Amino acid sequence: MDYELAVIGAGPAGVAAGIYAVRAGISTIVLEEKLVGGQIVVSPWIENYPGYENISGMDLAEIFKNHLKKYIEPHELEPVKSLTKTEEGFGIVTSKGKYEVKAVVFATGAIYRTLGVPGERKFSGKGISYCATCDGFFFRDKKVAVVGGGNTAAVEALYLKNLGMDVHMIHRRDQLRAEMRYQEELEKKGVNIVYDTVVCCFNGDEKLESIELKDVNTEERRTENFDGAFVSIGLIPNTGLVRDLGVEVDDNGYIKVDDFQRTNVKGVYAAGDITGGARQIVTSCAQGAQAALASTEVLGKQYPF
């Protein structure tokens, strides 16, 4: 075996898994297709990670990377091309080499679905967010739009409303897809729901200032001022590799794990956004640590849980 454990992905979950694995005496390789940090790199400010009252995502990613490098050098810009089950464990082929390992921790995260309209990329992190829990606090007492009509959009709209915002929920259909209990709560809390409407583009100078909207029935367009917009149309878990191994996922594509981050395939663990849930930095770190320590069960090592 080249390594006992492979950690695929170096966001918060992967970094924590790498640190905990090496400290537990596990021979480890950390593979990351981009750069250490994952989604937090594009977060302008983070205020809900304990220990840092206010820090940019880029700065926190650099801290994570330096901490990881104290124990192991991550393989950045080395995407995994294939992963197969072998008699001894798993075979990994990347853009730069081949590795044999006994266990794998998947920490490949998930990406937010985007609208793909003009201005969305320009104002991402400058008025446009994809996570109300992460960024909602910055917009308290402001007027914001929540784009989407499912459960996640409804929950985010309620969360923002509870922070004291003027919330307008924009949905392309004539009724929400969210469960009735959420719809009733939206009405009770006074969230303004704009049906049969789509976003055409986001406007502004240095930050988001307004949104151009279109009525899908009349084709009529109008521009409305907003201080912020939360795009909540779903996530795409990066689970392509694990599906080839027969790892079970739920209806939304997230990997199913138990309390020790085990999947249904022996020797395969998962942590972070790829497992769904709260999808926060602090929970991802905890899951990464748990997955690394749980892997000792298939490595012939013991950890005192």
CA dihedral 34, 35, 39, 44 (to 10 degrees): -130
- The domain locations on the chain are 3-111+235-298, 114-231
State residue 42's pLDDT score.
72
From 2, 131, 196, 215, active-site residue: 131
Distances from the Cα of 206 to the Cα of 43, 140, 203, 227, angstroms = 16, 20, 10, 12
Nearest partner of 29 among 42, 10, 45, 11, judged by Cα: 10
State residue 224's pLDDT score.
98
Nearest partner of 241 among 68, 33, 22, 17, judged by Cα: 33
- Active-site residue 285, yes or no? no
- Positive or negative, the CA dihedral 50, 51, 53, 54 is negative
Buried b (16+ CB within 10 A) or exposed e, 43-73: bebbeebeeeeebbbeebbbebbeebeeebe
Instruction: Give every CB contact of residue 230 below 8 A, 6+ residues apart in sequence.
Output: 128, 129, 130, 131, 132, 135, 136, 144, 145, 146, 147, 156, 160
Q: Does domain 3-111+235-298 have CATH number 3.50.50.60?
A: yes
CA dihedral 82, 84, 86, 92 (to 10 degrees): 20
d(CA 213, CA 225): 11
- Active-site residue 135, yes or no? yes
Averaged pLDDT, groups of 10, the chain, 305 residues long:
95 98 96 93 84 92 98 96 94 96 96 94 94 90 96 92 96 94 95 98 97 97 98 91 90 94 97 92 97 94 68
From 134, 227, 273, 285, active-site residue: 134
- Active-site residue 227, yes or no? no
From 135, 227, 273, 285, active-site residue: 135
| Helix (H/G/I), strand (E/B), else coil: 202 | strand
Alpha helices, H only, 165-277: 180-189, 240-243
- Assigned architecture for domain 114-231: 3-Layer(bba) Sandwich (3.50)
- Judge if 3-111+235-298 and 114-231 fold alike in CATH terms: yes
